[in-house]
Structure 1
Amino acid sequence: MTIGEKIKYFRTRIGITQAKLAELSGIHPVSIRKYETNKMVPQSPQIDRIAEALGISSFAIAGFENNIRLETIGDFMGLLIMLIKTKIVVVNGERGADDIYKPETVSFEVNPLISQFFNANISEKEFNAKDIMYHLKRKNLLQDLLSWEKINYGYEKCAAKYSDTPDKNTQAALEQLKNDKEAIEMELQRSGILLDTKDGISVKIPPDIFN
């Protein structure tokens, strides 16, 4: 099914009109009609608003297959960042005076709202998944991730405190912090080193590199 067909499916399932979906999502009725007839494709912000109006996950509309891949170190870092930002994975540890986590104290856990549904078997012993903590083995990846987490943590604190302020200088500083955070996120996803390196380090080559 296309994105438009999925929107129409979920809309009709709960029995609302295109006009009502437009009202609930704050999107123009003409756009809703074009989405459903595949004459226009909604972007991520619009998908999020439509999904919220329909009471479903945005992934139910956009799908996972076109948004998530796991082939390279860059893919892994991007996925890990997404899981942390959406609080599916929670970072635990002790922060230093500079607000960055001390690497030796850092562990990761699956959000308790998810882990409550799973148990783990280790050497024939069963454990509740919420009691399992994970550690990132590669120290260089951990350090890179913690550098990002520090600025993301700082941005979220500042955004919560100052996002509604009318002061232009404060808003400019907040926007710059957001841009710095996003730049680090993009850099962490640049690595083309393949995750499977048992036969030595291999790098993913873009298919059109020799064209």
Structure 2
Amino acid sequence: MTIGEKIKIFRELLGLTQIQLAELSKINVSTIRKYELGIRNPKPEQIERIANGLGITPFIFFNFKIETVGDVIALLFALDDTIDIEFDGEQINNEYTPDTISMKFKSKYLKDFMANWATMKGYLKSIENELPNIKHNSIQDIAKKNIDNKYTEFKNHYNINIHNNIIIKKGTDDIKVRVYSTNKDD
């Protein structure tokens, strides 16, 4: 999915017109239109302005390709550099055993998200496990599509609505960023 397609999806999910997004992001409406149509690609500064206008994190617009162990390790180090993480598991001679190690976040907000995410994945997995019992392939296909749609809906809900304004960087304690309208009519 292109950046322009993502802009359009999140704009529509929030019920905004291109004109409204242009006003919120302080970017010309014709430029927003060109981004959504894939005629132009926004620069990082524009992506940040659009994300702020939508009230979402700019990272949503980037396609991270995490394919190798090295990619995951780099991501884990970046997380550890940024937020408070704890490790748990069995230890022998002060060394964690690989089969028991787990990583935990100290942030209440991330813990809440992880619990909701695990619950959602468990629910969808239980439905997926029932698919072989469905005799008609066309109904199986519809069920698979519904599972995918439900998971996408869940991700979009968290990307747009949940705790995007709470800073959890190391050394902070529940700092919230408030976004105020500069429009005198609001």
Q: What TM-score does the superposition give when structure 1 sets the normalisation length?
A: 0.38
Greater percentage in helix: 2
Q: What TM-score does the superposition give when structure 2 sets the normalisation length?
A: 0.42
